[in-house]
Amino acid sequence: MKKQNVRTISLIVCTFTYLLVGAAVFDALESETEKRRCEALQAVEKMIIKKYNITEEDFKVMETVVLKSEPHKAGQQWKFTGAFYYATTVLTTIGYGHSTPSTIGGKLFTMCYAIVGIPLGLVMFQSIGERVNRLSSFVIQAVRKSLHCKRTAASEVDLICVVTTLSSLTIAGGAAAFSKFEGWSYFDSVYYCFITLTTIGFGDMVALQKDNALNNKPEYVMFALIFILFGLAIVAASLNLLVLRFVTMNTEDERRDEAQAMQVMKYLLVVNSIYIYIYIYLPMCIYVCIKLDCACFCFNQLIIAFKVCVCVSVC
């Protein structure tokens, strides 16, 4: 228990330290660029207001119209295809934010849908990930047997290598496709695939959001949905390995702590009171000998006491 408490505290400290380091790095990388971009946009805004002689209120109205009309470039977001895409982002917790419900009924149903759908999706992806790991283990064993290796069993390291390779290939292949269909650079496409498959889903880059793609490119819509679901299954396989390893470590620690607790309890009782001895045997049998100026001997399940000695057996 003590070791587990130390581990938990260490994880908390490491996490907050990691957050602080991340904040410092992002500050150094992005703050100046953000400042320059903001100044440039403000300069363009003033230039447009001056050039076309419009008021700031009218400019804000135009700005709102442009922002609100952006999602409609993909086509009707709430027809079946777009709604299926939205439902996928809800169930997978990606949450791009590219389209959001505007009606009370839509918002209410989104909350109810997510309450059921998110656990369902997590269980499904975890189960698929487990099957992927089993298949990977079977393939590794088959290959090693064909090569006549002495050790044929697949280790956790082997599975991690396989799943990492599959994840890399999935991201690389998806990035190539999105780069072609969306016109993004390959690096931006890799960034989009990573943000999507890790369910971060910033929404700064979203596929299927131009050229009426939801209505005019059904094959591209199908590819995007398959990529998301298949890619998340591969990522789930990786997470399944990590969770399994962490649970195994906790189980080992708990067993070790239980054994140590039994030994320490016996030791303390013997030291603090030389008249009380407690012997614990499996399965769940406890023998207590209270010795008062006597000789008391315990052999397995047989207790023999001499002179004044009270022996209690509890099973």
Rounded Cα distance between 75 and 86, Å, is 13
What separation in angstroms does the CA of 65 have from each of 57, 68, 69, 77, 206?
A: 13, 5, 6, 17, 20
Mean pLDDT by 10 residues, the chain (315 residues): 80 95 97 95 90 87 85 82 93 91 96 96 88 89 88 85 90 96 96 94 91 87 94 84 69 64 49 47 45 43 39 42
Residue with tokens 């991690």: 160
pLDDT of residue 263: 53
What are the E-state strand segments in the chain? 276-281, 285-291, 296-299, 302-305, 309-314
Please tell me the distance from the alpha carbon of residue 315 to that of residue 304, in angstroms, as a whole number: 17
What pLDDT score was predicted for residue 76? Answer: 81
Domain limits at 286?
Answer: 262-312
CB environment 258-296: b (16+ within 10 A), e (fewer) = eeeeeeeeeeeeeeeeeeebeeeeeeeeebbbbbeeeeb
* Domain termination site, one of 10, 26, 54: 54
Q: Is residue 231 situated within a structural domain? A: no
**Given this model, what pLDDT does residue 237 score?**
83
Is residue 28 included in any domain, yes or no? yes
- pLDDT score at 250: 62
Tally the domains of the chain. Answer: 2
In a domain, 305, yes or no: yes
Residue 314: predicted pLDDT: 42
Tokens of 86: 């939205």
Our measurement of the distance from residue 139's CA atom to the centroid of its chain's CA atoms, rounded to an integer in Å, reads 26
207 contacts 178 by C-beta, under 8 angstroms: yes
For residue 199, the cross-strand partners are none
Distance in angstroms (rounded) separating the CA atoms of residues 312 and 286: 9
Of 54, 70, 91, the domain-final residue: 54
Q: Does some domain include residue 295?
A: yes
Position 240 in a domain: no
pTM for the whole thing? Answer: 0.75
Last residue of a domain, one of 36, 54, 72: 54
